[in-house]
Structures are given as structure tokens and as C-alpha cells.
């Protein structure tokens, strides 16, 4: 998946020349994170379950959220930080929204189409970034099973393509 091309870089070059933006000064705004968030990220890495099919999943309960002094939206947003983990092709984080009494499930993919699984559980989204909201904790097990199966099918398809090349 290529999201950039020569035209993209030409436009960025023109923008930098025209505006004279000091983009290096933007780095702290973009990349700087508080220590508690980095420690929370470490916990996420240590506790992520990864299947042999390349599916990673994690249920982040409210005790963990409180322990690291993060809010559920921070946890949900950090799902994007796992995009470049070689062994994972689909991953999902589950958090509990006490106010609305429901589980929020954020799913990302680097290959398998996941919005079809999300739709099956009344969720939605894009092919590679989807979400589900549910009040039924038992439903999460079925979501895990279905997403792991999507990973398995995707890997089998890729292996068959490689063999026929």
C-alpha cells in the first residue's frame, strides 16, 4: 500500500519553500510523550497476546487505566502504535466505558480486511481500521476468534500467492 508518490513530495517541497515552516521545531509537539504514557505503552507490549496467525489482542481494564493515570481514549488511540510490529498483522484493544456501560473495541490491520468482521458484530469502519461497541463481554471471545481466523486465511492466501509466483 503506497500512500505517497512523487507528487506528494513535490507538494511538500513547494509548501516548505513557500511557508518557510521550521518543521524541526514541530517534533516535540508531535512526538514528545509524558513518562506515564511510555510506561503504559510498555505494559501494553508486555501484556499483548499474539496468536500463531499474527493476531494481537488485549483487554485493558479500568484498574490498568487508573494505575498508569491514562484515560480510556489514550488507550484506544495507542492501538495505532502497533502498526509496525512484524509478527502482528491484525490487532485489537478492548476498553470499558463506565459512563456508557459498554466495551469499546478498536481494531487495526496491515493486510486482512477487518471491517467485514466489525460489521458482523454491529460495528464498522474502514478496511484496515474498524471498531465495535458491545455490552456483551462474551461477544468479545467471538470477535477474537473471527479476527484470528481472518489472519489465518490471509496468511494462507499469501503463502499460496508466493508459491505460484
CB 58 within 8 A of CB 44: yes
Q: Is the dihedral of CA 109, 148, 141, 120 positive or negative?
A: positive
pLDDT digits (tens, 9 = 90+) for 145-157: 999 999 999 999 9
The architecture in CATH of the region 35-164 reads: Roll (3.10)
- Average pLDDT score over residue span 123-149: 96
DSSP state of 88: -
Q: Which of 112, 113, 95 is nearest to 104 (CA)?
A: 95
CA 35 to chain centre: 21
* Domain spans in the chain, listed from the N-terminal domain onward: 35-164
Instruction: Compute the mean pLDDT over every residue in the chain, rounded to the nearest whole number.
Output: 92
Lowest mean pLDDT among 86-90, 118-122, 155-159: 155-159
Q: How confident is the model at residue 22 (pLDDT cuts 50, 70, 90)?
A: confident
pLDDT digits (tens, 9 = 90+) for 30-77: 888 899 999 999 999 999 999 999 999 999 999 999 999 998 788 878
Amino acid at each position: 500500500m503506497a500512500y505517497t508518490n512523487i507528487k506528494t513530495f513535490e507538494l511538500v517541497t513547494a509548501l516548505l519553500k513557500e511557508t518557510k515552516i521550521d518543521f524541526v521545531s514541530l517534533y516535540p509537539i508531535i512526538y514528545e510523550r509524558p513518562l506515564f504514557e511510555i510506561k503504559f505503552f510498555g505494559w501494553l507490549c508486555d501484556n499483548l497476546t499474539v496468536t500463531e496467525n499474527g493476531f494481537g489482542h488485549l483487554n485493558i481494564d479500568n484498574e490498568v487505566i487508573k494505575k498508569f493515570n491514562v484515560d480510556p481514549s489514550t488507550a484506544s488511540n495507542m492501538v495505532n502504535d502497533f502498526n509496525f510490529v512484524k509478527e502482528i498483522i491484525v490487532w485489537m484493544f478492548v476498553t470499558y466505558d463506565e459512563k456508557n456501560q459498554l466495551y469499546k473495541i478498536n481494531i487495526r490491520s496491515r493486510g486482512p480486511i477487518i471491517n467485514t468482521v466489525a460489521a458482523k458484530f454491529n460495528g464498522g469502519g474502514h478496511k484496515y481500521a474498524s471498531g465495535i461497541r458491545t455490552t456483551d463481554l462474551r461477544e468479545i471471545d467471538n470477535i477474537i476468534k473471527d479476527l484470528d481466523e481472518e489472519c489465518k486465511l490471509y496468511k494462507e492466501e499469501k503463502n499460496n500467492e508466493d508459491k505460484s509466483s
